[in-house]
Copies of this chain bind each other. A is one copy, B any other.
Amino acid sequence: MKENQKYITKNQERFIAELMDFLSIPSVSSNEDYILGINGAAKFVQRQLIACGANIATIEKTEGHPVVYGEKMVDPSLPTVLVYGHYDVQPADPIELWDHPPFEPIIKDEKIYARGACDDKGQMFMHLKSLEYLTRTNQMCCNLKFIFEGEEEIGSPSLEKYLINNKEKLKADVVLVSDTAMIDNNTPSLIYGLKGITYFEVEVTGPEKDLHSGIHGGVIPNPLNILCTMIGKLQDENGTITIPGFYRGIVTPSDEEITALHRIPFDVEKYKKEVGVKALTGEKGYDPMERIAFRPTLDVNGIWGGYTGQGAKTVIPSKAFAKLSMRLVNGQSAKAVIRSFSNYFRTLAPDSVDVSVRVLASCESALVPIDSLPFRAAEMALEQSFGVKPVAVRIGGSIPVISLFEKVLGLHSILMGFGLDSDDIHSPNEHYGIFNFLKEIETIPLFYENYAKAFSSANPKCFLASSAM
């Protein structure tokens, strides 16, 4: 048994117990009611950084929720990896669909169940435990910097400013992020493409007050009917999004990319069963994998208005609301989509109503090069720990910071995630496999080792101090 496996075996009970403590803190970032959870989680991370051997661990104010910054510098000649993660979580709604309370973690069938178990508390916490392993066994082979933010689930609104203000401090050679999924437990994956996103809240106002649908029906513009009709017009019968200019600029994937995509194992029937859906759907002209990897999408994420209680109420409400978002791909511009959607959506409304469009979050898509030293080091690390070559994939999710790291710090990111698409992140009963959790602690130090070696070969003036191994 390798040394890192020994350390894991010896300490895994404690690792799991500590993660469960972390998961007990309700750090929902989108709702002000959870501010104590946000601050509690930030403090927990700071304490862990110190306990795991960081030289520096500070809670840094932003305009929103704080960033927890950590540092373990060992030798300026070694490469520096900036580890990113987020300690905030999605809301747990609808809470009534959870089998157990979302912030009272439990273990069942070799999985830890709690909001954030996988996304991203479980995955980010393992970076702390890898740090602990490396410092306690005196094996630091890279300099490490850590930023753990508290606003990822709301689109990281304060992070750009934070990165700009801390450019010097955050200097590094590459960013390492574990906030994504693998294809399955036998197919380790490295993500090289992420979608961008634009997320809106729209409001349609008809009459200035709720009205009786009998007395007033037939002449009053009903904002619910109108909002539905407007939303219905955002896609045509082929699933094509009708926003003018929406598809402009999209970079068609190369033949190699398309071939590589179709080599990834994907069992449609198994997938349908996993998510419990009768049939898949989507944009005409593309198969399901292409839609997820390469095509932009549009989803209504929430809608409300009028009477939603028990029984019947005959009302024409004053207002109707929806939250909706578009995922963007390589070549699209989030800014341009915000502009064109905001204009277009208003044109879909009749003159009898008022429409407001508010941007709740946005970020650009990201593609990272797959022929770089750190990408190859990550491939090797995954092959070493899983025993099979990993696949490189583009996914449908968005991690706003990835494009920010490139734009502000000039750094590419390695997206080495250990979750599974079946982990129900953002859903009731989110969970994270103990296998994945332990595999993560095993793999991260291997990445540092591979990367440090490759880095010193490529930079002969730097050498790997054997005393630091």
Contacts and interface: CB of A to CB of B under 8 A. Distances in A.
Interface string A204-225: 0011111111111111111011
A1 interface: no
B94 A210 contact: yes
Q: Residue among A210, A302, A305, A421 with the most chain B CB within 10 A? A: A302
A396 interface: yes
A465 interface: no
A352 to B, nearest CB: 4
Interface stretch (A14-22, A40-48, A272-280): A272-280
B312 A154 contact: yes
Count of identical protomers in the assembly: 2
Interface in A19-60: 29-32
B426 A217 contact: no
A85 B280 CA distance: 52
A261 interface: no
A282 B213 CA distance: 13
A90 B313 contact: yes
A306 B311 contact: no
A395 B352 contact: no
A350 B281 contact: yes
Contacts of A276: 207-209
Contacts of A199: 312, 314
A189 interface: no
Interface of A: 29-32, 90-91, 93-94, 97, 153-155, 181, 195, 197, 199, 206-222, 224-225, 227-235, 275-283, 288, 291-292, 295, 297-317, 320-323, 325, 327, 350-354, 360-361, 395-398, 421, 424-429
20 contacts: A91-B309, A93-B313, A97-B210, A154-B312, A181-B215, A195-B214, A207-B275, A209-B275, A209-B424, A218-B283, A218-B295, A218-B396, A219-B282, A224-B302, A280-B352, A281-B350, A301-B307, A302-B317, A303-B304, A306-B323
